[in-house]
Chain A
Amino acid sequence: MSADIKSSTQARPPFFERHAAKLGVALPVVTLAATLGLWEFYIYASGTPAYKLPAPSDIVKATISGWSILFSSLLVTLRIALLGLLSAVIGGVVIAILFTRSRWIEMCFSPYAVILQVTPLIAIAPLLNIYFGFEATIYLSAFIVGFFPVLSNTLTGLRSTDRGLVNLFALYGASPLEILFRLQLPSALPYFLSGVRIAGGLSLIGAIAAELVSGAAGEGTGLAFRITESGYRGNIPRMFAAVLLICLCGILIYAVTSLVSWLLLRRWHESALRQDA
């Protein structure tokens, strides 16, 4: 009898399981479309003016009409955020390697890494602004918030090398550099990549937050400034448009870092394997 039940469930797995992949895409899209539709309809039906709450179509229109301004600001923000992320990645990995090389270095400097992490960026950005100026502040902020996740994840990765493999390398007389490059760094890769994924999002947030706080204006400003500026001018649809672009940027960074991570790990690491692949 139990065999009967088993074969019947095998023949017809539950609806959700059979269509999991398609539903994973379809459901969020439907939800989003429904929300936007309701929003649009509510604005239309209630006659709410765009300067109070713009309809989705107003936001799209504002994005298109303000494209040249918004796009150049987008590039500014994105460039600084990515530069910060890149420095955070390089800095985090180098410091993590130094920490594993020497207990002394770690004891001397690890408190500062923690201080960097726990101090709210919003609190130090105005100070940085005074000493380093507007552009450097944004860059430093993107760097500071991205640095810690990379450092701590890479450190965990470097320390979780398999004891057996360490013995094996010792057996064949591997040099410290060979152990680093052939054993420790590959072992740390999955941890490092998940640190980079977190840091990617944070760097964008850091760049935007620093720009908002430092209150920069004028030429070569990023999306955060466009939000403040549009707010002063009462151009609410453009505020939304800027937020939309920031959001898309974040998604883009997440997608790229996830893709890189998947490409590097898909052959061997559990996190990148599909079930039953």
Chain B
Amino acid sequence: MNQAVLSAALAEAMPSPAPLVSLRDVSKSFDNGTVALEALSLDVFEGEFLSLIGPSGCGKSTALRLLAGLSQVSGGSIDWRDPARGERGRDIGFVFQEPTLMPWASVEANAALPLKLLHLPAGEIRLRVEQALALVGLHNFRSAYPRELSGGMKMRVSIARALVTRPKLLLMDEPFAALDEITRFRLNDDLARLQSELGCTVVFVTHSVYESVYLSSRIVIMAARPGRIVHAIDIIAPLPREEAFRRDPLYGAVCAEASRALHDAMGSADHL
């Protein structure tokens, strides 16, 4: 815990670069009166792996949807460092909680969809799809259909699809929630490796404290009703981490701190 505090102090002392995107006092309420987010301020820095954890209904998915431009803020603003990147999500990859594949299309065609929608030349598309499928270890399944794949494989297709555009920012909404622990650990490692290879920024939503600590350079803990940030932890161990990190004292300390913060956040929510 001390180290985590120290890391926060270090981060403050260092001159921080301009964030890739910042949410300023963002609030979001829905037509039915639900206030999903209130006065949420969050900077996302280039190259970081940021995890959002928090009780169900605290607005994690809502925050991702706002970042992706799939939904509009009710108050506050979302400022991009590069304003020219426009509203179109060219530079954003989104891995939804469900694989969300087109059942009528092969693995290859599913992964190629973003590039086709961006009207890239066919040769370029083929090349990039091949690379993306190789990255997630599915190049031998390029002509399989989604129903012929296991849950973990479908999720990997979904990840490959998010990666084909080589996005600066990768948003992932509980991508591994439905998987068994072994597959989940393996995909965690794959993801950590991919992120450091591609150098992209990841905003990751999960319900697992351990997963978030293992993967992240920073964890943000949210509370519900209204959705807001209650705690943030920087984890200074370099990325990507390996299995040994799970036995590191730092890992244990951060897990404990995150769990406590999460527990407090849960307690502040009225029980349903």
Contact = CB atoms under 8 A, between A and B. Distances in A.
A9 interface: no
Interface of B: 65, 68-70, 87-90, 92, 94, 96, 98, 100, 102-105, 113-114, 116-118, 145-147, 165
A167 B62 CA distance: 13
A182 interface: yes
B70 A167 contact: yes
Contacts of A24: none
A186 B117 CA distance: 16
Nearest to A173: B88
Interface string A236-277: 000000000000000000000000000000011110010000
Interface of A: 162, 164-165, 167-174, 178, 182-183, 186-187, 189, 267-270, 273
Contacts of B103: 268-269
A191 to B, nearest CB: 13
B147 A273 contact: yes
Contacts of B94: 167-168, 171
Contacts of B145: 267-268
A186 B89 contact: no
Contact of B146 (A168, A172, A268): A268
Contact of A168 (B100, B104, B116, B147): B100
Given A173-B117, A189-B104, 4 more contacts: A172-B89, A172-B113, A186-B102, A268-B145
A268 B106 CA distance: 9
A160 to B, nearest CB: 12
Contacts of A167: 65, 70, 94, 96, 100
Nearest to A186: B104
Contacts of A170: 70
B100 A162 contact: yes
Given A164-B100, A189-B104, A173 B90 contact: yes
19 contacts: A162-B100, A164-B96, A165-B100, A165-B102, A167-B65, A167-B70, A167-B94, A167-B96, A170-B70, A171-B69, A172-B88, A172-B90, A172-B117, A173-B88, A182-B117, A186-B102, A186-B104, A267-B145, A268-B104
Nearest to A163: B100
A236 to B, nearest CB: 51
B100 A171 contact: no
A192 to B, nearest CB: 13
Nearest to A169: B117
Contact of A171 (B92, B105, B116, B147): B92
A263 to B, nearest CB: 13
B104 to A, nearest CB: 5
Nearest to B86: A173
Nearest to A175: B117
A171 B70 CA distance: 7
A215 to B, nearest CB: 47
Contacts of A164: 96, 98, 100
